[in-house]
Chains A and B, each alone.
Chain A
Amino acid sequence: MRSRLTAWQASFLAPAGLVWLCLFALPLASFLVFSFWSVRARIMRPDFTFRNYVATITEYGDVLAWTLLTALAIALVTTLIAYLFAYAIRFRAGRYGDLLLFVTLIALFGGYLVKIYAWKSILGRDGIINSLLMFLGIIDEPIGVLIYSQGAVVITLAYFLLPFAVLPIYGSMRSIPDDLIEAARDLGAGPIQAARDMVLPLCERGINVAFLFSFLIAAGDYVTPRFVGGGASMMGHFIETQFSFGFNWPMGSAMSFTLLAASLAVVSLFRFGLRRSLAR
């Protein structure tokens, strides 16, 4: 019975497993193999060399570090705002909570590039913010650094990622019974203490997922920095270069796996740090 059930389950899982194998695992494995190959005269050659990984560190180590730092800043900002927003929806907004949740979902609609161009219009020299500040007489000249700066990259990506971060945290908060919070309050905990000592530890998984989404998407993104960062280049841009007119798939593959490994290390560190701080 047990084995028949397993086979029955396996038959359902097989199509999804096949898709995962063919569209994810095998391509990834092939790129891992390519990363140890070499290139000469635009032609990939089967090889087993670590040269591409060494070159990734020596030639692109600074870009890698910058990418991770930028992604970390974006992920932390996004996760923090998402936590506060989800908290407000779940515990503070009352009957308006559903409306705020709906607004969050609405923000998922609209294309990625559309959002980038929207922020270009908002942050530009004759954008909404500069126009408003000039209209109010706060400034005489438009502020140039609102756009084509690292700050613009953080704002744009944080806006884009916010719904992805709000939803898992809100999901965690929904499973927290109101009775638990009320019990904490009855036992003398203030609202901040209840939020910190009761809600936060119970949202650990949601926070981890929110950070994971935000960090990995930000670390892999290179379009936003190019469009609103004024040329700020992230690792993804240099990886794209290797795969395109660099004709160097092995190098591009090595750079991709290095970024992947470094990103997973940062995510693991965040998870470890969060667990440690919540355990205190």
Chain B
Amino acid sequence: MTTSANSLHAILELSRRSALSRRAFLGGAAAGALGLSAMPAHASTTMTWMGWQGYETPIKSGTFLKDNDIDFQPTFVASNEEIITKLQAGGTGKTDLITMYFGYLPIMAEGGLLEPIDPSKVAQFGDLVPQFTAQQSIRFKDQLYGVPWNWGSLPLMYDPAAVPTPPASWMDIKKPEFKGKVAMVDDPLGNLLVWGTVVTGKPMGTLLTREELAKVIDELIDIKKNHARAFFATYGDMSDAFARNEVTVSAIGWEAVAVWTKAKGKEIKYTIPKEGTGMFMDCLCIPKDAPHQDLSYKMINHVISPEPQKVFATEQSAGITNLKAVPLLPPELAQSYNYADIDGFMQKARLQPVPPSEFDGTTASYDDFLTEYARLQKA
């Protein structure tokens, strides 16, 4: 473990040093250039952030950026995995804050991509939904690596113009009337979160034996080959397909898709079928060697404070984590996420960990899952 850790750390260190050298060089060059011209009274701090489009709205809300003289530079991603790629490809040491699906945190922490978070520096940590802060997956080796800040579920999306009655079961999408009209999305973990439970009946669809995992993938291959219109690259693509009447039901979903599709002039709805579904929770995380860690903490505290949480919930139709922000929400929004009974909501939509790192003789590992998922991608 130490040898292997040392090897990665050596690479990361090399990357970091080169990044630092570059920054130092550029900083020196910039300082030199500035020395030749008039020196400004002060310079803004450039803070970089990576996350989904729309997630930046609470960061920009209020006077936080102005008060802290921050030049905010967001980078939008199409998937959580893209953030992992960017961090691995030299993004550490340059990125101040990211948002990440909670299930990936242990793997990212293990891979040396994240800084541990000191809960004492997150003033409102105690106000967050306790069911979320208690999740083991936001920790690695007893250290906190993410601050829960929004959540939602992966419901079945449908077009009410073509499907007047919401499908009662996920398996209903295989009915003949939906042949060639089913939307799938290439969201590896998302597909497992939904179909792991549907196929096996297990509440934790990510913790399966290798045989069960193969059955789940077989089922998804059947849907892809025989029922799906397409295996869309992103949720945005799925939204486009609903808007263009290419599809009428989905094998996976996200509440935000309904918001995007409505913006394109098409109303679609969503439902959680009787088997339940997966739930996601996105966390705020500080990447390894974040250049302005004090400001990263300030930004976290700002984002999870009540007013930005309200902004986020209303603009993105998202679930939020600060219980003090819930009374500020429009009643219909508060009801749709059932803040009054989060335990009840979590019975229907379950937070699930990613498969374990190593095969323990029973439960299929994360690598087993990736190998099986490649079968689906190839099919």
Q: How far is the CA of A144 from the CA of B244 in the complex (A)?
A: 12
Which residue of chain B lies nearest to A229 when distances are taken between CB atoms in the complex?
B230
Residues on B with C-beta less than 8 A from A144 are 180, 229
**How close is A125's CB to chain B, nearest CB, in angstroms?**
5
Pairwise interchain contact A44-B81, C-beta atoms closer than 8 A: no
User: For residue A124, which residues in chain B have a CB less than 8 angstroms away from its CB?
Assistant: 244, 246
B218 interface residue per 8 A CB criterion:
no
B231 near A41: Cβ-Cβ < 8 Å: no
B357 at the interface (CB under 8 A from A): yes
At the interface, yes or no: B41 with Cβ under 8 Å from chain A? no
- Neighbour of B244 across the interface among A41, A126, A247, CB < 8 A: A126
Interface residues of A in 24-40 (CB under 8 A from B): 40
Q: Which residues of B contact A148 (CB under 8 A)?
A: 229-230
- Alpha-carbon separation in the docked complex, A192 to B262 (Å): 57
Report A229-246 CB contacts with B as 1/0, cut-off 8 Å.
Answer: 011010001101101111
Are B244 and A246 neighbours in the complex by a CB distance under 8 Å? no
Interface residues of B in 80-108 (CB under 8 A from A): 80-82, 84-85, 88-89, 104, 107
| Contact of A63 with B378 at beta-carbon distance under 8 Å, contacts A42-B357, A247-B111 already known | yes
B245 at the interface (CB under 8 A from A): yes
Residues of B near A249 (CB, < 8 A) are 88
Name which residue of chain B comes closest to A124, CB basis: B244
Q: A42-B111, A120-B240 are in contact. Are A243 and B88 (CB under 8 A)?
A: yes
Which of B7, B246, B378 contacts A46, CB < 8 Å? B7
B23 vs chain A, min Cβ distance (A): 17
Within 8 A of B (CB), among A205-247: 223, 226-227, 230-231, 233, 237-238, 240-241, 243-247
In the assembled complex, A114 has its CB within 8 A of some CB on chain B: no
Interface residue? B237 (CB, 8 A): yes
For A, the interface residue count at a CB cutoff of 8 angstroms equals 33
Q: Which residues of B contact A92 (CB under 8 A)?
A: none
Expressed in whole angstroms, the minimum distance between the Cβ of B145 and any Cβ of chain A is 14
A216 to chain B, nearest CB (A): 22
Q: Is the CB of A227 within 8 A of B85?
A: no
Out of B89, B224, B374, which one reaches A243, CB within 8 Å?
B89
Select one of B8, B111, B374 contacting A241, CB under 8 A: B374
In the complex formed, the residue of B with least CB distance to A46 is B7
Interchain nearest-CB distance for B175 vs A (Å): 18
Given contacts A124-B246, A230-B230, A241-B374, contact A43 B81 (CB under 8 A): no
Bound complex: CA A244 to CA B84 (Å): 6
Give A249 to B88 CA distance when docked, in angstroms: 9
A226 and B357 CA atoms in complex are apart in Å by 28
Known contacts A231-B186, A231-B231; A42 and B370 CB within 8 A of each other: no
- Interface flag for B4 (CB, 8 Å): yes
Q: Is the CB of B104 within 8 A of A245?
A: yes
CA separation between A107 and B224, bound complex, in Å?
A: 35
How far is A60 from B377 in the complex, measured between Cα atoms in Å? 11
| Interface residues in A123-150 (C-beta closer than 8 Å to B) | 124-126, 144, 148
Q: Which residues on the B side are within 8 Å of A45 (C-beta)?
A: 3-4, 7
Q: In the bound complex, how far is the Cα of B1 from the Cα of A231, in angstroms?
A: 38
A residues neighboring B (CB under 8 Å):
40-46, 59-60, 62-63, 120, 124-126, 144, 148, 223, 226-227, 230-231, 233, 237-238, 240-241, 243-247, 249
- 12 A-B pairs whose Cβ atoms sit less than 8 Å apart in the complex: A41-B4, A42-B111, A59-B374, A124-B246, A126-B245, A223-B233, A227-B233, A227-B237, A230-B229, A230-B230, A237-B377, A244-B82
20 more A-B residue pairs beyond the given contacts A231-B232, A238-B377, A244-B88, with a C-beta to C-beta distance below 8 A = A41-B4, A42-B357, A43-B4, A43-B112, A44-B7, A45-B4, A62-B378, A120-B240, A124-B244, A125-B246, A144-B229, A226-B186, A226-B233, A230-B231, A231-B377, A241-B377, A245-B81, A245-B104, A245-B370, A247-B88
